[in-house]
Amino acid sequence: MTWETVIGLEIHVQLNTRSKMFCGCSTAFGDPPNTNVCPVCLGLPGALPVPNAEAVRLGTRAALALGCTIHRRSVFARKNYFYPDLPKGYQISQFDQPLATDGRVEFESPERGRVSVHIQRLHLEEDAGKSLHDRIPDRTAIDLNRAGVPLAEIVSGPDMQSPAEARAYATALRQILVYTGVSDCSMEQGSLRIDANLSVRRPGEPLGTKTEVKNMNSFANVERALLAERERQVALLESGQAVTQVTLLFDAASGRVQPTRSKEESHDYRYFPDPDLPPLVLSESWIEQQRATLPELPDAKRERLTSEVGLPAYDAGVIAAEPALADYFEAVVAAGVEPKTAANWLMGEVMTGYNESGRFDVAPARLAALVRLIDEGAVSHQAAKRVYAELLVVDEAPAAVAERLGLTQVSDTGALMQWVDEVLAAHPAEVERYRGGETKLVGFFVGQVMKRSRGKADPKGVQPVLLERLAAPGL
């Protein structure tokens, strides 16, 4: 008999602000420890929080993009627990009156086709600092530069049925958040963090005991960690043991999940409304303005790229995966390139460069100019790739580059005729055989012309000239 898997994800994303959630300190990543701190984020006696408008705006936009209901009145609450990197001994978060509830994310499940995952809530909160355990012997080193950085916590329903599906959900969610400019969603810099709840059960039975899996630092590792945890739970149950409610950490090196060592404490966070912060009240008109200014979201983009622009679904999926890619694509098309041609370029040379540098080094208009050279027959497709490589490093028009590198194709009949005549003169025996009915030798002659022209001859122009000369008597 099979096991069903039930997975829900809690995702924390860092909101893309310059300053922290409740103070004017910088959110810059990678600064020396404890340099972006002040009385507020150090939790000094007497300091008070002052909330950042941009964090509220970005959180609202994220929630709107996820189809959530925005609550016109939400309340910040204190979540009380002791941890050395939590300066005040409580985290300012939202509890029973969050910013937004009841959204959904639709995506392609690897197993089930199109599925919809319920977003239970999205709330705003501040991040804790960072604890470094291996920096100084026997000591934990605390850096509070992160403390107070604004986060949105996005909690899904227990709607995913496999680790691969959880990964696909997280990927879809990330796309939406990047599209809306809410977050960089960089797992390396910790601006996107994923925690998962997983349980297994026999079909038709009530939900099993769930465990929490943390420390999954890439999308691939989300899938790996959850596969490992599912296997662990199934093994326990099949050997007649019970699953206990624990928090587990994923170890990417070994591919295993390990229960956290500290004794499981009863989580009694003693939430209550933060008396330092009056209720967050948003006007209907402001919310509508945010809704109206949302960019096109990945799903809509994919839909448009297939149905309106006419791309194959695969191409549309690749191009819509990142807003930067999609924007570039649209700019190239707008510059006059036929969409499928633009898509091919994007998924080829352009993507390779972008994945390496994170930038588009060739402006859309230059790429369009290059594509026009191909269309006009001025360069071959092969030659165009060499031109493109050069465009990455020099600031020159594509035509000039092709000229300089000697890659310009010749379609001038006079020049072609000269190369054709030379080739025919050099191969009298083959000409004889051709004229005797061996017409497949045309390919041989074209190849020879290309060779003689060192690739400059436009192959499309060669054939008619060749046929004409072969048909002409007296040569």
Partner 1 sequence: MTIGADQVRHIARLAEIAVADDELPVLAKQLDRIVGYVAQLDRLPADEDAAPFNAGPESLRLRADQVNPWPMIGGPMAMAPESADGFFLVPRRGTGAEA
Partner 2 sequence: MTSVARIAERVRNGGETAGAVASRTAAALEDSTGLNATLHWSRELLHRRAGEITERVSAGEQLPLAGVPVALKDNIVSTDEPTTCASRMLVDYVSPYEATAVTRLREAGALLAGKANLDEFAMGSSTEHSAFGRVRHPLDPERVPGGSSGGSAALVAAGVVPAALGSETGGSVRQPASFCGVVGVKPTYGRVSRYGLVAFGSSLDCISSFGRTVDDAARVLAVISGPDPFDSTTVDRPPIAPPEPPRDLRGITIGLPREYFPDDLDPGVRAGTDRTIAALKELGAELRQVSLPHTALAVPTYYIIAPAEAAANLARYDGVRYGQRRIGPNGDIRALYQATRGEGFGAEVRRRILVGTYVLSAGYAAQYYAKAQRARALIAADFAAVFAGGVDLLFTPTTPTPAFRAGEKTDDPVAMYLADIFVSPASLAGLPAMSLPIGRSDGLPIGGQLIAPMFHDEQMLAAAAVLERAVPAVEEVR
* Residues of this chain that bind partner 1 (CB under 8 A): 17-19, 23-26, 32-40, 42, 47, 50-56, 82, 84, 131-133, 135-136, 138-144, 261-263, 268, 270, 275, 277-281
Binding site for partner 2 (CB under 8 A): 39, 42-51, 78, 80, 82, 84, 87-90, 140, 142, 144, 266, 268, 270-272, 274-278
Q: What is the DSSP string of 258-297?
A: EE-SS---------EE-TTS--EE--HHHHHHHHHTPPPP
Contact between 153 and Mg ion per CB under 5 A = yes
Q: What is the DSSP string of 64-125?
A: HHTTPEEPSEE-EEEEE---TT-TTSEEEEE-SS-SEEEEEEEEEETTTEEEEEEEEEEEEE
Selection from partner 1, Zn ion, Mg ion, none that 202 binds (CB < 5 to 8 A by kind) is none
Please identify which residue in 7, 13, 23, 122 interacts with Zn ion, judged by CB under 5 A. Answer: 23
Which long-range contacts does 418-426 make (Cβ < 8 Å, 24+ apart)?
419/449, 419/452, 419/453, 419/457, 419/462, 420/445, 420/449, 420/462, 420/465, 420/466, 420/469, 421/469, 421/475, 422/452, 423/448, 423/449, 423/452, 424/469, 424/470, 424/475, 425/475
Q: How far is the CB of 53 from partner 2 (least distance, A)?
A: 12
CA–CA–CA angle 213, 190, 144 (5° rounding): 105
Q: How far is the CB of 81 from partner 2 (least distance, A)?
A: 9
Contact between 143 and Mg ion per CB under 5 A = no
Interface residues for Zn ion in 33-62 (CB under 5 A)?
38, 40-41
Selection from partner 2, partner 1, Mg ion, none that 49 binds (CB < 5 to 8 A by kind) is partner 2
Nearer CB in complex with partner 1: 23/384: 23
Nearer CB in complex with Mg ion: 58/326: 58
Nearer CB in complex with partner 2: 48/313: 48
Q: How far is the CB of 36 from Zn ion (least distance, A)?
A: 7
Q: How far is the CB of 42 from Zn ion (least distance, A)?
A: 7
The structure tokens listed for 387 are: 């031109």
3-state class of 150 per DSSP?
strand
Q: Using CB under 5 A, list all residues that contact Mg ion.
A: 153
Q: Using CB under 5 A, list all residues that contact Zn ion.
A: 23, 25, 38, 40-41
